[in-house]
Amino acid sequence: MEKSGERKMPPVADREEILHFYTGVMRGKIHSGGKAAAIADRLRAAAALERAGQEDGEKSGALEKLDAVLEELRHAADRKAE
């Protein structure tokens, strides 16, 4: 049952929640049985965060390329209109 003032959790974790979880594991802030995650688990969490960061960088680079192509198309359309 939901306590008053608590926010209902969605049925599936979103990207931000997953990243927060991995960050907590990596930093030893997530505990199970009173113990922080083992170093192997913390390393796996760090690797997952690194992969997520690389994916963000790849998406960012792709968007920059698309912006450049759109700018070229705008210039070409302007020249054709003249």
Question: In a structure prediction context, what are the per-residue pLDDT tens digits for the chain, which is 82 residues long?
Answer: 445 566 787 788 888 888 999 899 999 898 888 888 889 898 999 999 888 888 777 777 777 777 777 777 777 777 777 7
pLDDT of residue 3: 54
pLDDT of residue 33: 86
Host H or E run for residue 36: strand 35-36
pLDDT of residue 23: 92
| pTM (2 d.p.) | 0.54
CA distances from 82 to 49, 77, 78 (A): 50, 9, 6
Closest residue by Cα to residue 21 from 46, 39, 40, 1 = 46
Host H or E run for residue 31: strand 31-32
The backbone region for 17, taken as left when phi is positive above 0, alpha when psi lies in -120 to 50, beta otherwise, is alpha
Return the domain boundaries, the chain.
15-81
